[in-house]
Amino acid sequence: MNNKYKILLNTKIAKDTYKLIFEGNFSKEISPGQFINIKIEDGYRFLLRRPISICDYNNGKITIIYKILGEGTKVLSLKKENEYLDILLPLGNGFKIMEEYNSQLIVGGGVGIPPLYLLAKRMKEKNINFEVVLGFNSSKDIFLVKEFEALGASVSISTMDGSFGTKGNVIDVINELNIVYDYYYTCGPEKMLMSLIKTEKLGQLSFEERMGCGFGACMGCSIKTKTSYKRICKEGPVLESSEVIYHE
């Protein structure tokens, strides 16, 4: 099976944050919230692939946005146009769009924001009204805001240092602006996900976990839910809020 995909663009868009676009033939339908698994290079330096969420998909081209968090993503940031990457895709269980709710909210934090963009595009296609709240550490980390706004969405921003938007986190924005919503979709740090669980509103959460295989064989990314243990790479990364166990 050919897993090689050609890089069309790999450029820095914010502090330590890069956008990479690659093209190829994809035999499966791609859903918002699914991810890819990239083999960084041959040899034994990096044994495990890197899971990265799909940010956008259009006409045979996939966009990912990633942050340099270690040696593997540092090497990925140095890849050039016309080079090839070994990629498994699409993987995981994505978001299910709930058309029956009148006021919907998309909430993203940091590198959890990219998969929410494709979700927003699909919601726009279905004429669903939604607002967007995005959280970053500082103004230097901000990305994708103009892209969300181009979809006609109202976008509110928080930064932990107060250098842009509301000082604090996404919950602070929601409370300060008194944003009303019936249903939410979110991806980001686990502390942020738990804050949304605590609101007791219904929604879907995309979890960020370390993964061994990426397709459910190794069980390394399993978490306990109210009904059973679930593999983030297979049954997830998107889970219903009603099945997630809240913890501090």
Compute the average pLDDT of residues 181-204. Answer: 96
Percent of the chain with pLDDT over 90: 83
- The set of residues, in sequence order, having a beta carbon less than 8 Å from that of 15 and lying 6+ positions away, is 138, 140, 141
Domain 4-91, what fold? Elongation Factor Tu (Ef-tu); domain 3 (2.40.30)
- The set of residues, in sequence order, having a beta carbon less than 8 Å from that of 147 and lying 6+ positions away, is 117
pLDDT in tens, 39-92: 987 555 777 889 999 999 998 999 999 999 999 999 999 999 999 999 999 999
Class of CATH domain 104-243: alpha beta
Compute the average pLDDT of residues 149-177. Answer: 97
Domain ranges of the chain: 4-91, 104-243
Who wins on pLDDT, 162 or 220? Answer: 162
Distance CA 66, CA 71 (A): 13
Q: Between vectors from CA 202 to CA 196 and to CA 204, what angle results, nearest 5°?
A: 75
Distance CA 50, CA 53 (A): 10
